[in-house]
Chains A and B, each alone.
Chain A
């Protein structure tokens, strides 16, 4: 026990901390500039000087460790004079442009000068001049205001791990700059903005448009971009969002955000936001009133149900919508229309992966807490780059590496490039060979515990690759052995699994093998999620075979339970998956489709086929915030409220339920759940709801998983799996896995494989509505390896024609030295230039996930004159 006195107050410490932290514990706040909790200490600004008895000089409390018997004073005349002197030094070169500076009002320097002085500076010589840099689309850099506390640099290096900026120059000529000296070309997380205590690094988005004291309300909510579910604060003025900021101590992201979360909030204010319901009249979508639109939808749905039965109606739920929205859509389909045809884009990867892993390893196998990743001593990543798909989760991997954990990546490492101990990049579609070898290595080391008999029985069937086969897959046997050695040394490992593990044939085998790696290492599994609420979509029963709460529809006990709660019947007949609905629509069996918050035409491959299928429907209802390509085909378009305009809950990839709170009122649309409930009411649904909370209230009764979990408890941050319940499902002994006994040969394709890029700056169609994100990443490009650029004679920024099985596009190329040979990448972001528009698809026979087909492409150089 350490006992010391700070300003006459006794402090007792269990373990040593700095004097600054010790003072904080007894409510003594010592002024600081360069100190920032969570960043490595620096000791440069000299503002936190304190007097310590028996030490001759003033001491910096941020670096001095508290020790037993210390007597500390934090506010004496000597100290005040020293602080005044430090501030005078800082003001020598700091412009006194506070009336013009956006930081005024929340500037630490301003506050400190107000408190300590000096009233006037005595510096009579000319100040340092550095013109404000507007070279970057997002970040304004004003180095005249910089106090060189280096919080931004430490943030960039030590927490974000981007290493995009550094101090350049020396002494009074020091500047903080990105490498280019102009544009940042970084990850644009903007976390440097959070930590800048002055107006040196600021966001350009709201430059000179508001002052901090204009903020009328602050709303704590959850980000609407990916499945991590970062907490953020919306700052609101006159019913518009001026800024989104993270807050230290709030949420699992604890003060960090990624580029999409921080800057992408304007995606809901893009051009063409739907303002009114539309109905197709003589081939054209015409504006109508809400009453007319709702009545029309209800009557058409009713007619189709009556004439063709509930099975002729389907619905697509959305990973961008809340649990309440999705629950209501599910309720409409199952309990009002009488159809189990409900699914979502979670079907592509997330839902089948989770369902498969749960069937093999038990329910909740992927429910693990994100902040725990940083504490693990080893991370195995495969199937995608977590720093792009779920950026803030990716930071946890970097943090684990920084604190000594080993990181092994199977596949291109992307943003983990600097954080990888073993980079295993196999030939395209050879991951299963490498996974088999890893599993073989772990089994050989005696890692079979016998705990899961079924798994171990199946593993006996596994055909292990020979050294030659492994080499043919692109991985040297020694490299693999070294990686396995490190895997075996991990005591607290983590396995991170991305969507790309499902790409290609035999998805079930790769999933099983990754699961087996985790099983043999006793690792926690994390399943990357591209949308904020894919987990909620599943939990709310927006899958054909699961009820709200995740109970299988075939379990009578659960059916009885929900029927009793709702007083409504669960349809007998099994439902269709998203892909089956497309098939069925094409065949004419599905007559009506209700699409909420999903652009099927854009996100599904084989556009022609999807278009044909949707075109055959008698009724296509699209509920969205923009007139998407799918909406443009619809019979009825219903404008919805966007992420920042509604209350509700999201369930993140940890299965943490979090509250989404309305920052402002919707410009024109209505909450999705409300629209659906209105339609349901017209179709005979008796229950009415006044708020999202009332919808959730019903969920807590309907879903055994969420029983007793009210908004107040969710708001407290404690809504973590398994909530108040027990896992409902055990493992299935008879699970199917394809091709365990076989190994694919590496085939030479007829051209490069086109693979999906999952970029950091975009995440599908929503992000391209954000002016901020577009300014960073404005246009589509095809990523190609240097060898291909030589072969085609095309330089960076040049154009190629990409001829795929399902389409042809002319695209700019970006040459990436790290791009895997034999592959090219295209993201699914930009209209008319998207990955899905070029390739075909089928459904995986075992897991039901999306399997991309026909994705070899032919590239031809296009000379600009020819355009």
Chain B
């Protein structure tokens, strides 16, 4: 049933040339056309770059899918200076590793994207907030930044013009919550990474109280391409509502897990079966989490769903970070749910009551069930606790945790009930 898709004909944009052994070197990057967009961009007035990004239809790749051009516009219109540009390289959502190839194999693309973005925003100071769990990426990025300074793409008077931009890596230290942009800003400021009250939004009151744009790695990596081909052209790739190439990290029970660069809107089924090689060992598909652990799980009949920001909600889930986690019939859903909750409990920042207390309570109950100590009524209790959390937490972390439980017990209730009644697992026995 293999069909030929337009995607396979498309040249890679974000993962271009990463197979080259020298892909991280500036000479190699330039050899395949890198740092050309920057020259074009620096000749463009900042407002024009913002206009191009707006017309490209690019939406943030971190998970929320906010239109990038609009975010830039807000920050750019704020009269306060200095403005900060922060790259969110804190991908910590379980199942997500899509930014890793850029960070480790294509760092100059990110740097080029950031310099162009900074020029558009008239920002002179940028940070790459890199998760602490990626020590190798830190080495690669810092080397690349050094090369970019030497080549005149960073520092004062970039390419001899009036624009200057300084960039450094800010290493996170193991806090998933810092992927939330206001928590990330707190962390850059040297504080506990807890989210801030919004409004005001970072575009107006961000790092050190100044207008700040926080963009995901992948988002920024799209910028040179948009500048090169123009916003209009870009907007024709993939789904017209949220166009562009998209990185999908596919993991768990597939033959070929990995990061795939495909047009936005590629059907989930195609990703699993055509690109990732189908279910590992020829097993039967049981469930898919389409966008990282915090997005609601989908049952097999829903995998026709196009993978983009607008389609997934119609199927009861979200695109999130585009992290596709595929579970076959050998995976116990209670155990996955428990492990996910252990993660949320560990990562809850503790600021708001329902998330701080609720994640731990849910994990406790799931742990009992998983270890054969479930009680009658536990399923209702889980639903009740999760419903009490949903929509009432300070930031999306707690909402995500509640959503995971609600989705799991909605579609896989028989597995949970089996655990409670038989004190053992339906799958593994």
A residues apposed to B, CB below 8 Å: 41-47, 49, 56-58, 63, 65, 82, 85-86, 88-90, 92-93, 122-125, 147-148, 167, 169-174
Asked if B354 and A46 sit within 8 Å, CB to CB, the answer is yes
CA of A42 to CA of B360, assembled, Å: 22
Known: A89-B358, A89-B388. A125 touches B346 (CB 8 A): no
Known: A46-B392, A49-B392, A170-B175. A89 touches B357 (CB 8 A): yes
Distance to closest chain A CB from B155 (angstroms):
30
Asked if B361 and A44 sit within 8 Å, CB to CB, the answer is no
Most buried by B among A86, A88, A123, A172: A172
Distance to closest chain B CB from A56 (angstroms):
8
CA of A171 to CA of B388, assembled, Å: 18
- Per-position contact with A for B345-369: 1 when CB-CB < 8 Å, else 0? 1111111111011111100110010
CA of A90 to CA of B351, assembled, Å: 13
Can you identify 12 A-B contacts, CB atoms within 8 angstroms? A43-B197, A46-B394, A58-B392, A85-B354, A86-B353, A89-B357, A124-B375, A125-B361, A148-B356, A167-B350, A170-B350, A172-B350
Tell me which residues across on chain B come within 8 A of A47, comparing CB atoms: 353
B267 at the interface (CB under 8 A from A): no
Tell me which residues across on chain B come within 8 A of A86, comparing CB atoms: 353-354, 388, 392
B391 at the interface (CB under 8 A from A): yes
Known: A46-B392, A122-B381. A172 touches B364 (CB 8 A): no
Asked if A92 and B192 sit within 8 Å, CB to CB, the answer is no
A-B CB pair tally, cutoff 8 Å: 89
Closest B residue to A40 by beta carbon equals B197
Asked if A171 and B356 sit within 8 Å, CB to CB, the answer is yes
CA of A148 to CA of B394, assembled, Å: 14
Asked if A85 and B388 sit within 8 Å, CB to CB, the answer is yes
Closest A residue to B347 by beta carbon equals A171
Tell me which residues across on chain B come within 8 A of A92, comparing CB atoms: 357, 360-361
Partner of B350, one of A49, A89, A90, A148: A148
Known: A43-B394, A44-B394, A86-B392. A171 touches B354 (CB 8 A): no
CA of A320 to CA of B146, assembled, Å: 68
Closest A residue to B390 by beta carbon equals A57
Tell me which residues across on chain B come within 8 A of A65, comparing CB atoms: 199
Tell me which residues across on chain A come within 8 A of B175, comparing CB atoms: 170
Partner of A172, one of B199, B359, B381, B393: B359
Asked if A90 and B348 sit within 8 Å, CB to CB, the answer is no
Asked if B388 and A82 sit within 8 Å, CB to CB, the answer is yes
Closest B residue to A171 by beta carbon equals B348
Asked if B391 and A172 sit within 8 Å, CB to CB, the answer is no
Asked if B353 and A172 sit within 8 Å, CB to CB, the answer is no
Asked if A125 and B364 sit within 8 Å, CB to CB, the answer is yes
CA of A47 to CA of B346, assembled, Å: 24
Query: 10 extra interchain contacts, Cβ-Cβ under 8 A, other than A46-B394, A123-B361, A172-B359?
Result: A43-B394, A57-B391, A58-B392, A89-B358, A92-B361, A148-B350, A148-B351, A148-B353, A169-B350, A172-B357
CA of A88 to CA of B361, assembled, Å: 11
Distance to closest chain A CB from B208 (angstroms):
14
Give the dominant DSSP class at A's interface.
loop
CA of A678 to CA of B358, assembled, Å: 70
Tell me which residues across on chain A come within 8 A of B347, comparing CB atoms: 171
Tell me which residues across on chain A come within 8 A of B392, comparing CB atoms: 46, 49, 57-58, 82, 85-86
Tell me which residues across on chain A come within 8 A of B391, comparing CB atoms: 56-58
Asked if A170 and B349 sit within 8 Å, CB to CB, the answer is yes
Partner of A63, one of B197, B346, B350: B197
Give the 3 A-B CB pairs with smallest separation, nearest first: A85-B388, A89-B357, A171-B348
CA of A63 to CA of B356, assembled, Å: 19
Closest B residue to A170 by beta carbon equals B350
Distance to closest chain B CB from A30 (angstroms):
15
Tell me which residues across on chain B come within 8 A of A88, comparing CB atoms: 388
Asked if B352 and A43 sit within 8 Å, CB to CB, the answer is yes
Distance to closest chain A CB from B114 (angstroms):
30
Known: A170-B350, A171-B347, A172-B350. A93 touches B388 (CB 8 A): no
Asked if B360 and A172 sit within 8 Å, CB to CB, the answer is yes
Distance to closest chain B CB from A708 (angstroms):
50
Tell me which residues across on chain A come within 8 A of B394, comparing CB atoms: 43-44, 46
Asked if A89 and B354 sit within 8 Å, CB to CB, the answer is yes
**B residues 372-428 touching A (CB-CB < 8 Å):** 375, 381, 388, 391-394
Tell me which residues across on chain B come within 8 A of A122, comparing CB atoms: 381
Closest B residue to A90 by beta carbon equals B353
Tell me which residues across on chain B come within 8 A of A173, comparing CB atoms: 350
CA of A85 to CA of B346, assembled, Å: 21
Asked if A174 and B388 sit within 8 Å, CB to CB, the answer is no
Asked if A171 and B359 sit within 8 Å, CB to CB, the answer is yes
Tell me which residues across on chain B come within 8 A of A82, comparing CB atoms: 388, 392
CA of A43 to CA of B353, assembled, Å: 10
Asked if B350 and A46 sit within 8 Å, CB to CB, the answer is no
Tell me which residues across on chain B come within 8 A of A57, comparing CB atoms: 391-392
CA of A88 to CA of B358, assembled, Å: 10
Tell me which residues across on chain A come within 8 A of B199, comparing CB atoms: 65
Tell me which residues across on chain A come within 8 A of B359, comparing CB atoms: 171-172
Asked if B197 and A41 sit within 8 Å, CB to CB, the answer is yes
Distance to closest chain B CB from A762 (angstroms):
35
Distance to closest chain B CB from A35 (angstroms):
12
Distance to closest chain B CB from A338 (angstroms):
67
Tell me which residues across on chain A come within 8 A of B353, comparing CB atoms: 44-47, 86, 89-90, 147-148
CA of A440 to CA of B352, assembled, Å: 55
Tell me which residues across on chain A come within 8 A of B361, comparing CB atoms: 89, 92, 123, 125
CA of A641 to CA of B211, assembled, Å: 61
Closest A residue to B365 by beta carbon equals A125
Known: A58-B392, A89-B361, A90-B357. A171 touches B349 (CB 8 A): yes
CA of A171 to CA of B349, assembled, Å: 5
CA of A148 to CA of B346, assembled, Å: 17
Tell me which residues across on chain B come within 8 A of A58, comparing CB atoms: 391-392
Partner of B345, one of A124, A148, A171: A171
Distance to closest chain A CB from B177 (angstroms):
8
Closest A residue to B351 by beta carbon equals A44
Asked if B354 and A172 sit within 8 Å, CB to CB, the answer is no
Tell me which residues across on chain B come within 8 A of A93, comparing CB atoms: 357
CA of A172 to CA of B357, assembled, Å: 6
Distance to closest chain B CB from A261 (angstroms):
32
- Per-position contact with A for B19-60: 1 when CB-CB < 8 Å, else 0? 000000000000000000000000000000000000000000
CA of A44 to CA of B394, assembled, Å: 7
Closest A residue to B177 by beta carbon equals A170
Tell me which residues across on chain B come within 8 A of A169, comparing CB atoms: 350
CA of A125 to CA of B369, assembled, Å: 13
CA of A70 to CA of B277, assembled, Å: 53
Tell me which residues across on chain A come within 8 A of B192, comparing CB atoms: 167, 170
CA of A125 to CA of B346, assembled, Å: 18
Distance to closest chain B CB from A149 (angstroms):
9
Asked if A171 and B352 sit within 8 Å, CB to CB, the answer is no
CA of A58 to CA of B387, assembled, Å: 13
Closest A residue to B196 by beta carbon equals A43
Tell me which residues across on chain A come within 8 A of B351, comparing CB atoms: 42, 44, 148
CA of A240 to CA of B263, assembled, Å: 78
CA of A727 to CA of B364, assembled, Å: 73
Distance to closest chain B CB from A380 (angstroms):
27
Most buried by A among B192, B353, B359: B353
**B residues 320-366 touching A (CB-CB < 8 Å):** 345-354, 356-361, 364-365
Asked if B352 and A174 sit within 8 Å, CB to CB, the answer is no
Closest B residue to A174 by beta carbon equals B350
- Per-position contact with A for B186-215: 1 when CB-CB < 8 Å, else 0? 000000100001010000000000000000
Tell me which residues across on chain B come within 8 A of A42, comparing CB atoms: 197, 351
Most buried by B among A44, A86, A89: A89
CA of A41 to CA of B351, assembled, Å: 12
Distance to closest chain B CB from A772 (angstroms):
32
Asked if B352 and A46 sit within 8 Å, CB to CB, the answer is yes
CA of A63 to CA of B195, assembled, Å: 13
Tell me which residues across on chain A come within 8 A of B354, comparing CB atoms: 46, 85-86, 89
Tell me which residues across on chain B come within 8 A of A43, comparing CB atoms: 197, 352, 394
